[in-house]
Structure 1
């Protein structure tokens, strides 16, 4: 996934640090991601969600709010309103690059911020919240014990997530006074609310309140067993997949035509999880699948193995070839099914040493219909003429080229 490290001016002129995660192919839409309270653009949930969306053709800008992460400024001088202003500044930066955001995605307090910021970002067609509070003042429970000192002295140092932060009186007063109901009712964009039922930090009642206050179109999707920070890779990937599928109803995600000379498009395989083996497979503009390895070989078993796809190609081509032949002959073929097994395990076969093996694919073909023995025998003969069968028997030449592509682009 290509990533640009960029900077832009925040609400008060300080330089904010950001990453723009880009698809390897065409950019079909752009999303703006707002991180959780005192978090950063680089937390695992933000990285994984941005990475999965980029694999689906959606560029994602994630940045550090003023005073957090690698951004300039003093956190003690920020407020909820300043976060909203930072979001609008980020959207203006994208618009200047002809990448005005069509989606706003906010995690926790960032979810409340995108609801509030929507009115200032006219290009937005969809808003997504992840574990967001209905009342921004909800975050004050993280530093309840320091509230008297904040009121008396104007600020206080508190420990949040094992790190010290200075919370100012302006921040407390701002989140206390903020009411999101008017902003939600006048959102004028599709809304997707995502929340985990067992979220111990922001209860799911907040999601219900956001959903109730919003007008249609709106959707509510549970994050099941996810924790508030969405720390598990599987939960982050699920959230990204749901966001992408949902956004397609409200944002035009149609890619351009496939390149000349590739009538069925180019099949692209992209690593989805560098820690495992999960792969995204895109075949042309309309088809997506996963490849993976079984748990026993270090995978997550979320898709077929590579050899499973080879077997699937043989089985599908066999069935199609039989149907095509019977249709041309006018034979009463009611149904076809093909079982394919392969005697190699891919992970073992990939080892550099060991005795050579011969691949053997075994097909069991079932054909149903009022067919005589001559017709059945002919269909069995035709099965051996399917193009994939011939490719496997005769072999193929694979031409490989290495394309140099930087993973991170300088500012």
Structure 2
């Protein structure tokens, strides 16, 4: 979802909100690295991976970068903090409750510095990825005559191969931050993730931040990852870790009741996304991208096939255990056929114009010590599993309107 966020300085920030397919467990705000944009690989991969874990994640372009207005060359670190506050206010207004702050590289330093201004009552927890403890160190990544900018008030520089126009104000505002002191005042859960082989921001920065932070605090090693998380698997890993860690601070709150029996299905985000609640479990169902879905979960027919397959396997295993048969395992492959052409028992249905469908089941029985008689009996038992009987019996679906608007 593409958004714009207004700032008090008269221009807008370009933002993108990644929404979960199912219910929203809570919102998160992601801050990208120095001179990157919301479309950087790490920003996209981490926010989408968090969305898959039920966390609505907003990423945006800092002032003067990507699609955002304003002058990057005059902004500096303090402006990044102001951008985060404006974006956090947008999230809190939309979703209510508390938010998770996630920052990558200098964005990690920015979320740590912004948390107090956003308000500790509005921030649930903070996670940083490859964040520097010494904010002014980013000036070392700038190629240009900083002394001339100090003298003349402005000048041209190169950062990461891109040209920028910087002001003396940018340098002054960036040098003014004492991040360890800021972190030491926070009384919020903090997770610090860092690669021990980070060649841009050394892992000693993580040590300084971790030492400065108060408990509860956690450290996660991103061994083998580079600073920019250019490998998607590294971004997915840390997103899953952050989501699992944040579950303690962003518990799922929903008005949907958990069923005492059966399932409850509620619509989510995306074209087909739905969330399924059983008595003790919840998961997402979707359609593949080729059908216009987001492919975030099994399809309805996957679930139908799975119902028959799992019940078949469970029934065969239970029977083997009861009879003491040397069964090593069962593998059941189930496929669905929409237009089933069959002569015999179903001719009458076809004559009445009713579409005939079929489920095809292939059962592989594993166990070298099983006799042919054992295998034959197990195949017979497979046809007696409860779901099989339900599907082939006289099944009626009764529908009624529920309460509510």
TM-score bucket of the superposed structures, by smaller chain:
0.7 to 0.9
1:284 aligned to 2:277?
yes
In structure 1, the gaps of 5 or more residues are 272-279, 292-302, 350-357, 397-411
| Residue 21 of structure 1 pairs with residue 18 of structure 2 | yes
| 1:26-69 CA-partner distances (Å, limit 9, x unpaired) | 32211111111111112222122222222222111212111111
Gaps of 5+ in 2: 287-296, 338-358, 396-405
Aligned equivalents of 1:258 and 1:342: distance in 2?
Answer: 34
- Whether 2:102 is the aligned partner of 1:108: answer no
Q: CA RMSD in A?
A: 4.5
* 1:385 and 2:378 matched: no
Residue aligned with 1:26, SS:
coil
C-alpha displacement of 1:100: 5.1
- Match in the other structure for 1:40: 37
- Displacement of 1:168: 2.1
SS of residue in 2 equivalent to 1:69:
coil
In the alignment, structure 1 residue 183 sits paired with structure 2 residue 182: yes
Aligned partner of residue 30 in structure 2, secondary structure: strand
Q: What is the match of residue 128 of structure 2?
A: 129
Aligned length: 363
The 8 Å contact of residues 50 and 60 in structure 1, kept in 2 or not, is answered as yes
Provide the rounded CA distance (Å) in 2 between the counterparts of 1:309 and 1:26.
Answer: 19
Counting only pairs closer than 5 Å after superposition, residues 185-200 of structure 1 correspond to structure 2 as: 185-200=184-199
Change (3 A) 1:15 1:267: closer
CA distance in 2, matches of 1:223, 1:290: 31
- Residue 31 (1) aligns with residue 32 (2): no
Q: Computing the radius of gyration over CA atoms, which structure comes out larger, 1 or 2? A: 2
User: Residue 329 of structure 2: which of 333, 338, 350 is its match?
Assistant: 338
Q: How does 1:215-254 map to 2 (within 5 A)?
A: 215-254=214-253
User: Partners of 1:336 and 1:270 in 2: how far apart?
Assistant: 43
Structure-2 change in CA distance of 1:154 and 1:30 (3 Å): same
Which residue number in structure 2 is paired with residue 159 of structure 1? Answer: 158
1:53–1:240 Cα contact (<8 Å) kept? yes
The Cα shift of 1:87 comes to 0.9
Equivalence map 1:331-410=2 (5 Å): 331=322, 337-340=328-331, 361-364=362-365, 381-387=380-386
C-alpha contact (below 8 Å) 1:265/1:283 kept by paired residues: yes
Indicate the residue corresponding to 2:88 in structure 1. Answer: 91
CA separation of 1:262 and 1:232: change in aligned 2, threshold 3 A: farther
Distance, in Å, in 2 between the alignment partners of 1:281 and 1:367 is 42
What is the TM-score normalised by the length of structure 2? 0.73
Q: Distance between the aligned counterparts of 2:368 and 2:269, measured in 1?
A: 37
CA contact (8 A) 1:8 1:17 kept: no
SS of match in other structure, 2:207: helix
| Distance (whole Å) between structure 2 residues aligned to residue 257 and residue 33 of structure 1 | 28
Alpha carbons 1:312, 1:340 under 8 Å: kept: no
The CA distance in 1 between the partners of 2:55 and 2:365, in whole Å, is: 42
- The 3 A distance-change label for structure 1 pair 25 and 168 is same
Query: Helix, strand or coil for the counterpart of 2:56?
Result: strand
- Look up the SS of the partner of 1:226 in the other structure: coil
Change (3 A) 1:110 1:334: farther
8 Å contact kept, 1:315–1:339 = no
Alpha carbons of 1:315 and 1:343: their partners in 2 closer, same or farther (altered >3 Å)? closer
